[in-house]
């Protein structure tokens, strides 16, 4: 059986040695190990992939015993994670994820697609994925989110991907799925937050446009950044040209960020991420 061990703690000499020694004494085989120390905060981060047979809680307790206080430790197995996709009208990001899933590139189980519009229903069903249309109609934001949550909870997902879900989520919704909500924003954050970044970028005369995949928090487009990329443009691009160029970046950035989460390579700290 393969596992991934994730640790965050105050830094201390010999932590890598002590943790590795425990794994060795358990007869486990370390296949990959990555660590990082943030000098400003004196925080130690470590991700270790290993294989073997374990009693999970006993191993966690033994490692906890040698860690400083205020630590975080988690032990993940190698099972595929379940994900649910939330979308609105745009299909380019959804289509890209579905193709990657169909080809086996996306190591996850897409359990459902949920949308406040029905125009991506046929696309979704071509891949044999259940599609749920939950229109807003005259519902309040809270009433609509209650229906969305009820549908999401049927599938108990590890990750909820906002694949161009163009609705601002309430704090209650975000709290329900803390550290499970992955969003793609069509801008190189922190520049041009909100719904119309390409128009703002055009007015500003930028020479690059980009995309940012980040965790969702209560602050709009302010969550910990997981992955970003840009494409170069010039003065001949209008906002529509920028949008077309940006869509290609959005697809790549979101799939890269999702793969990092699926591989348990993302740790969060002080509204930032450490990618191990």
For residue 183, what are the β-bridge partners? Answer: 162, 214
Q: Which two tokens stand for residue 126?
A: 């071509």
Q: Which residue is catalytic, options 11, 221, 240, 241? A: 221
Is residue 240 part of the annotated active site? The answer reads no
Q: How confident is the model at residue 204 (pLDDT cuts 50, 70, 90)?
A: confident
Residue of 228, 213, 226 lying closest to 272 (CA atoms): 226
Fold for 81-275, please state it: Rossmann fold (3.40.50)
Full DSSP string of 85-109: EEE-S--HHHHHHHHHHHTT-S-EE
CB 97 within 8 A of CB 162: no
- What is the model's pLDDT at position 207? 81
Q: Is the peptide bond before 190 cis (omega within 30 degrees of 0)?
A: yes
Give the domain ranges of the chain: 2-77, 81-275
Task: Output 195 or 34, whichever has higher pLDDT.
Answer: 34
pLDDT tens digit sequence for 205-227: 878 888 899 999 988 778 999 99
Would the pTM of this model clear 0.85, i.e. be above it? yes
Equal CATH topology for 2-77 and 81-275? no
CATH among 1.10.10.1100, 3.30.70.260, 3.40.30.10, 2.60.40.10 for 2-77: 3.30.70.260
| Distance of alpha carbon 187 from the chain centroid | 17
């Amino acid at each position: 059986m393969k596992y991934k061990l994730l640790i965050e703690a105050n830094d201390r000499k010999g932590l890598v040695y002590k943790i590795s020694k425990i794994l060795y004494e358990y007869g486990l085989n370390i296949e990959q190990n990555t660590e990082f120390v943030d000098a400003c905060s004196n925080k130690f981060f470590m991700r270790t992939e290993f294989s073997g047979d374990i009693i999970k809680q006993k191993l966690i307790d033994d490692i906890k015993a040698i860690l400083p206080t205020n630590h975080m430790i988690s032990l993940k197995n190698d099972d595929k994670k379940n994900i649910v996709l939330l979308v609105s009208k745009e299909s380019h990001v959804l289509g890209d994820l579905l193709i990657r899933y169909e080809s086996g590139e996306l190591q996850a189980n897409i359990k459902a697609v949920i949308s406040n519009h029905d125009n991506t229903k046929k696309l979704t069903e071509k891949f044999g994925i259940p599609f749920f249309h939950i229109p807003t109609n005259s519902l309040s934001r809270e009433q609509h989110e209650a229906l969305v949550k009820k549908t999401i909870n049927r599938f108990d997902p590890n990750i909820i991907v906002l694949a161009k879900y163009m609705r601002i989520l309430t704090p209650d919704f975000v709290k329900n799925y803390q550290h499970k909500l992955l969003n793609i924003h069509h801008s190189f954050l922190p520049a041009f937050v909100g719904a119309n970044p390409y128009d703002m970028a055009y007015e500003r005369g930028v020479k690059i446009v980009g995309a940012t995949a980040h965790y969702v928090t209560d602050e709009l487009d302010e969550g910990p950044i997981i992955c970003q990329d840009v494409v170069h443009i010039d003065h001949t691009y209008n906002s529509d040209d920028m949008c077309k160029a940006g869509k290609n970046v959005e697809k790549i950035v979101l799939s890269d960020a999702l793969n990092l989460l699926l591989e348990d390579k993302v740790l969060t700290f002080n509204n930032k991420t450490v990618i191990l």
